[in-house]
Amino acid sequence: MLKIGATNTLKILRQIPFGLILDSTEGDILLPNKFVKSDMEIGQEISVFIYRDFKDRLTATTQTPKAEVGEMTSLMCVDTTNFGAFLDWGLDKDLLVPKSEMDEPMVKGRKYVVRILHDHKSDRIIASSKIKVFFDRETAELERGQKVEMMIYRKTPLGYTVLVDGKYEGMLFDNQIFKMVRPGDTVNGFIKGVREDGKLDLTLQEEGYQAVVNSTDDIIEKLEEAGGFLPYHDKSNAEEIKEIFQMSKRTFKKVIGGLYKSGKIEIDEEGIRLKG
């Protein structure tokens, strides 16, 4: 069965002036000339993405969208109208988010986390930013400290709601953020806790021994790039430490204390210096 909004494997039936005709359960489908490759032959099976073109005709393309039907992703808003907004999803035809499917009004130039849907009423592919209903609550197999990919979804008074590994809901609290993030950004992070309701508490910084090891490498690298001296120490402002080193002041103090004890740096009123 042909899957609209997904990659399908279809056989090339014949060539016409406008492109190649592909066989499908929904009838013949055109692969326009601009997507035809020189090594394509009659009778060959090829992988193509199926969608509806500007005239609502089923059409094939060898372009790869940033997400297919059933997936969630972050996309840039490229235009707005009185009936919805259009997102860039990697194809010539932008993706519509109907006004009824907006979690909040969209603004051109901003990224939004959306789910790609096949609207069976219109038989069109659309996107929806009302994604909370699609979150997977089965998080029992996830563990504290596990590395995950996070899409920043929405700002809240406590931090950001995020989409974790494309299917889970998580919370990234302000006190766990040590670099600038905005809705639509994709960042790596770690699970800080798994709640009974299936939601996840998250952090951008790895916890425990490995966090100190990684932060140690970061500070040494910044010292080397700065010529061996940085004007920061254990009495520096916490916000300044967060902005420059992308870590908490607590971690920073622990790291430079370890570097001092191991004889790799000196600490004085002016800052920290590499030794040797």
CATH, residue 99: 2.40.50.140
Is the model's pTM score more than 0.85? no
Examine the domain organization and report whether 120 and 144 are in the same domain: no
Q: Which residues pair with 125 in a beta bridge?
A: 118
- Pull the structure tokens for residue 209: 């021994």
- Over residues 198-254, the pLDDT tens digits come to 889 998 877 654 555 667 878 888 888 888 898 888 888 888 887 787 777 777 888
Examine the domain organization and report whether 171 and 183 are in the same domain: yes
Largest CA distance in the chain: 78
* Predicted local confidence at residue 214, as pLDDT: 64
Domain boundary, last residue among 176, 203, 230: 203
Name the most confidently modeled range: 31-35, 50-54, 238-242.
31-35
CATH code for position 268: 1.10.10.10
Q: Is residue 242 a part of any domain in this protein? A: yes
Burial class (CB in 10 A: 0-12, 13-18, 19+), 197: exposed
* Predicted local confidence at residue 10, as pLDDT: 97
Q: Is residue 144 a part of any domain in this protein? A: yes
What's the domain count of the chain?
A: 4
* Predicted local confidence at residue 225, as pLDDT: 87
Domain boundaries, position 270: 208-274
Domain boundary, last residue among 37, 61, 85: 61
Examine the domain organization and report whether 105 and 150 are in the same domain: no
Percentage of the chain modeled with pLDDT above 90: 51
| Residue 25 scores a pLDDT above 50 | yes
Domain boundary, last residue among 203, 221, 253: 203
Question: Who's near 157: CB < 8 A, 6+ residues apart?
Answer: none
